[in-house]
């Protein structure tokens, strides 16, 4: 009998070959699968949050302009800082177990200083704007506000609306770099706009009749009118625009933003903010 003619014998001879081919195909398939699905690289760790960095340093750095009462003021004679948001900054530092350091800034440089890590948060009557939001994040708003005129009381009836202010011969004084200047550029076409560099002395320009009116935040017009009886805030309860106040925070630091929002909600709810505001606003 011839073995090659026996089907059983042929199968027994082919079986090792088939097993070897099956193993080879398995290895090739596994290799192809690995080539198609490379292991992704381990992503870098996220940068540390300001919340952790403040704790490590034992210091909370707060940028503020010092020229916007009742929220922030730096006395040029004593260098002492005061204001509602300065007190709030002190409360934030205490809650973080850190000392408070105020970093002087200007309205035009504030968002850039924050982005350059010169401070951890900017406080002091900061209005929410889309331009600043491109460089930084905001806390939840803590105050609804908007632009309102302030003028000598004798002229109060003359400057009730933007249309009444935006007339030839009307002198509007503004401080540079902030939302007051932005409002004037966007809304005033015929009035004469005068830039005054010092927001602490700008209202003296109106009292001395070197300017007729200023358009600033309603909260500031109320406070300045209380300090200077010859000045009157014009319809501060019906402002010409909507500009809520909030605190400016580092962009992308969600951990710190969430902590600040929680702290702010508690301060508004338990009367802490109102206690700081009362001496300034009554």
| Chain segment 204-263, per-residue pLDDT in tens | 999 999 999 999 999 999 999 999 999 999 999 999 999 899 999 999 999 999 999 999
Domain 147-233, CATH among 1.10.760.10, 2.102.10.10, 3.65.10.10, 3.40.190.10: 3.40.190.10
| pLDDT at residue 30, rounded to an integer | 53
Q: Global pTM?
A: 0.77
Region of 61 on the Ramachandran plot (φ > 0 left; ψ -120 to 50 alpha; else beta): beta
Residues with Cβ within 8 Å of 273's Cβ and at least 6 positions away in sequence, in order, are 84, 88, 142, 267
| pLDDT at residue 51, rounded to an integer | 97
Alpha carbon dihedral 241, 244, 249, 255, in 10-degree steps, equals -140
Kindly tell me if the per-residue pLDDT of 141 is higher than 90: yes
Find, among 250, 247, 241, the residue nearest to 268 by Cα: 247
Find, among 140, 147, 121, 102, the residue nearest to 268 by Cα: 140
For residues 257 and 200, what is the distance between their CA atoms, to the nearest angstrom? Answer: 31
| pLDDT at residue 1, rounded to an integer | 41
Kindly tell me if the per-residue pLDDT of 2 is higher than 70: no
- Place domain 50-144+244-281 in its CATH homologous superfamily: Periplasmic binding protein-like II (3.40.190.10)
| pLDDT at residue 45, rounded to an integer | 78
Q: Please compute the mean of the pLDDT values over residues 197-209 and round it to a whole number.
A: 95
| pLDDT at residue 100, rounded to an integer | 98
- Bigger pLDDT: 226 vs 47: 226
Rg (alpha carbons) of the chain, rounded to whole number: 33
- Bigger pLDDT: 30 vs 249: 249
For residues 41 and 99, what is the distance between their CA atoms, to the nearest angstrom? Answer: 40
Contact yes or no for 174/151 (Cβ under 8 A): no
Domains of the chain: which residue ranges? 50-144+244-281, 147-233
| pLDDT at residue 231, rounded to an integer | 98
For residues 183 and 187, what is the distance between their CA atoms, to the nearest angstrom? Answer: 6
Kindly tell me if the per-residue pLDDT of 281 is higher than 60: yes
Find, among 50, 34, 67, the residue nearest to 200 by Cα: 67
| pLDDT at residue 47, rounded to an integer | 85
What is the band of 29 on the pLDDT scale with cuts at 50, 70, 90? Answer: low
Kindly tell me if the per-residue pLDDT of 54 is higher than 70: yes
- Which residues, in sequence order, are bridge partners of residue 250? 136
Kindly tell me if the per-residue pLDDT of 181 is higher than 90: yes
| pLDDT at residue 20, rounded to an integer | 57
Contact yes or no for 150/225 (Cβ under 8 A): yes
For residues 275 and 282, what is the distance between their CA atoms, to the nearest angstrom? Answer: 10
Do the domains at 50-144+244-281 and 147-233 have one common CATH topology? yes
For residues 84 and 108, what is the distance between their CA atoms, to the nearest angstrom? Answer: 21
Residue-wise pLDDT tens digits, 73-129: 999 999 999 999 999 999 999 999 999 999 999 999 999 999 999 999 999 999 999
| pLDDT at residue 42, rounded to an integer | 78
Name the 3-class secondary structure at 31. helix
- Bigger pLDDT: 120 vs 1: 120
């Amino acid at each position: 009998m011839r073995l090659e003619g026996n089907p059983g014998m042929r199968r027994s001879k082919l079986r090792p070959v088939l097993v070897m081919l099956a193993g080879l195909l398995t290895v090739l398939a596994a290799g192809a699968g690995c080539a198609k699905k490379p292991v992704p690289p381990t992503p870098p760790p996220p940068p540390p949050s300001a919340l952790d960095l403040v704790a490590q340093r034992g210091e909370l750095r707060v940028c503020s302009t010092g020229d916007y009462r009742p929220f922030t003021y730096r006395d040029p004679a004593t260098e002492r800082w005061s204001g509602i948001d300065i007190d709030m900054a002190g409360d934030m530092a205490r809650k973080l177990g850190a000392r408070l350091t105020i970093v002087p800034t200007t309205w035009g440089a504030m968002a850039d200083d924050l982005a350059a890590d010169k401070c951890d948060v900017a406080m002091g009557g900061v209005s929410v704007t889309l331009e600043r939001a491109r460089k930084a994040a905001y806390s939840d708003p803590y105050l609804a506000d908007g632009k309102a005129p302030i003028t000598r009381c004798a002229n109060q009836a003359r400057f009730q609306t933007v249309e009444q202010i935006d007339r030839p011969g009307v002198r509007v004084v503004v401080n540079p770099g902030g939302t007051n200047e932005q409002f004037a550029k966007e809304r005033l076409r015929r009035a004469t706009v005068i830039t005054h560099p010092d927001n602490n002395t700008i209202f003296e320009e109106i009292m001395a009749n070197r300017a007729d009116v200023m358009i600033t935040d309603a909260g500031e017009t109320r406070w300045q009118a209380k300090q200077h009886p010859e000045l009157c805030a014009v319809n501060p309860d019906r402002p010409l625009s909507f500009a809520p106040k909030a605190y400016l925070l580092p962009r992308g630091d969600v951990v710190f933003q969430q902590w600040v929002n929680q702290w702010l909600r508690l301060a508004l709810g338990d009367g802490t903010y109102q206690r700081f505001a009362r001496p300034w606003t009554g």
